[in-house]
Amino acid sequence: MYQLFFRLVFRHMDPERAHHLAFGWIRLAARVPGSRTFVAALLAPRHRALRTEAFGLRMHGPFGLAAGFDKNAVGIDGMAMVGFDHVEIGTVTAQPQPGNPKKRLFRLVADRALINRMGFNNEGSAAVAARLAARGAGRPAFRTTVGVNIGKTKVVPEAEAVADYVTSTERLAGHADYLVVNVSSPNTPGLRNLQAVDQLRPLLSAVREAADRTVPGRRVPLLVKIAPDLADEDVDAVADLAVELGLDGIIATNTTIARDGLGLASGPELTAETGGLSGAPLRARSLEVLRRLYARVGGRITLVGVGGIETADDAWERILAGATLVQGYSGFIYAGPFWSRRIHRGLAARLAASPYATLADAIGAEARAADETGEAHKADKENA
């Protein structure tokens, strides 16, 4: 039914307007006790086998909502209701900002992809912190893990970026189950320059110190989100830095500015739009970056796989490649409200059919199997 509705209605609407409309319906349903109970039972059945622990946090499963969908923390209960095991809000900036001029969101239906150049449109960290504080003081409809993704305010010069991130950290860390430093969006000028290790080290160190100072007695897990467009040696450098600084996780990956080599079927009137590409065409590179990170850090740091995840097979592949958590966004647009249910059911089936007793046993199994094969080949050669 959703596919028919998408073809007849949503496909002919401006993507940003359709997003606000659908998100509004989800939020409305989550405010009505009888409605939200029914919807959650239908869309978010729990599978005990999928219970997951990451950065010391327990979750119903590994599948969460990536940042960008709920920028202002207005629909956390709604997104938990439709089946996401964790919800990452943002990206939030220190100052409120309208984002880039419209039109700034484009559907590439033939590719099951999106291009966005939203530009961190959000109400600012003070407003979002107040909303999260009110939610924490009340009785949330659903208890779920809430990540807070922070970025640089556009008008702030690159030289003042650290102070800008620290401001958001001081306001938001106390309300976050985990905190993400976003240095990888292509839609804020100069932001991706902060991925260079010489720029990233002082930024992450300052955010870590600010979080510890702001929330004494609780270590807020800190992650960094990187771009798929980093060169392999830069991926390695970020991985090494994360280990050096004791980060809790790396999210791989954000959207891509690449177009060539992705096999896009959409016409140039869409593919030529500037902004970050997400969805199915990103799958291969995001998986490649994840594999490279796991080869570098192993189990020392929690890895979150995102980018091109559409099916349970995609999510399972990320787990075997080293991801403890997986996230989606674009797939939700094309698959509809039963998407999380299908992902969870498929993951539970794949785990049951695997040799692994738990999801934790499956994390990185691909790399371990490759290592064992390599050791076996080495032994064979030595014996020969």
Enumerate long-range contacts of 155-162, CB under 8 Å, 24 or more apart.
155/95, 155/97, 156/94, 156/95, 158/190, 158/193, 158/194, 161/194, 161/203, 162/202, 162/203, 162/206
In DSSP terms, which residues pair with 63 in a beta bridge?
A: 326
Rg (CA), the chain: 20
**pLDDT tens sequence across 265-303:** 999 999 999 999 999 999 999 999 999 999 999 999 999
What residues form DSSP beta bridges with 57? Answer: 54
Confidence of residue 381 (pLDDT cuts 50, 70, 90): low
Which residue among the candidates 185, 266, 278, 286 is catalytic per the annotation?
185
For residue 151, the 8-state DSSP code is: -
Residue 374 has pLDDT above 70, yes or no: no
* pLDDT at residue number 126: 98
Residue 1: what pLDDT?
83
Q: Determine the average pLDDT of the residues in 70-79.
A: 98
Per-residue pLDDT tens over the stretch 214-271: 999 999 999 999 999 999 999 999 999 999 999 999 999 999 999 999 999 999 999 9
Q: What pLDDT shows up at residue 384? A: 58
Q: How far is CA 76 from the centre of its chain?
A: 14
Rounded Cα gap, residues 111 and 266, in angstroms: 6
d(CA 199, CA 48): 42
Amino acid, single-letter form, for residue 89: I
Question: Virtual CA dihedral for 225, 346, 116, 23, nearest 10 degrees?
Answer: -110
Give the pLDDT confidence score for residue 364 in this predicted structure.
97
What number of other Cβ atoms are within 10 A of residue 251's Cβ?
Answer: 28
Q: What distance lies between CA 235 and its chain's CA centroid?
A: 17
Q: Any catalytic annotation for residue 185?
A: yes
Q: What is the DSSP string of 237-302?
A: HHHHHHHHHT-SEEEE---B---TTS---S-HHHHTS-SEEEEGGGHHHHHHHHHHHHHHHGGGSE
How far is 112 from 259, CA to CA, in rounded Å?
14
Q: What percent of the chain has pLDDT over 70?
A: 97
For residues 124 and 104, give the distance between their C-alpha atoms in angstroms, rounded to a whole number.
Answer: 20
pLDDT tens for 329-371 read 999 999 999 999 999 999 999 999 999 999 999 999 999 998 7
pLDDT, tens digit (0-9, with 9 covering 90-100), for 129-176:
999 999 999 999 999 999 999 999 999 999 999 999 999 999 999 999
Binding-site entries? 67-71, 91, 116-120, 149, 182, 187, 225, 253-255, 279, 308, 329-330
Distance separating alpha carbons of residues 209 and 163, to the nearest angstrom: 12
* pTM across the whole model: 0.95
For the chain, domain boundaries: 2-383
CA distance 178 to 227: 19
Q: Which CATH class is domain 2-383?
A: alpha beta
DSSP letter at 82 equals: T
pLDDT reported for residue 382: 61
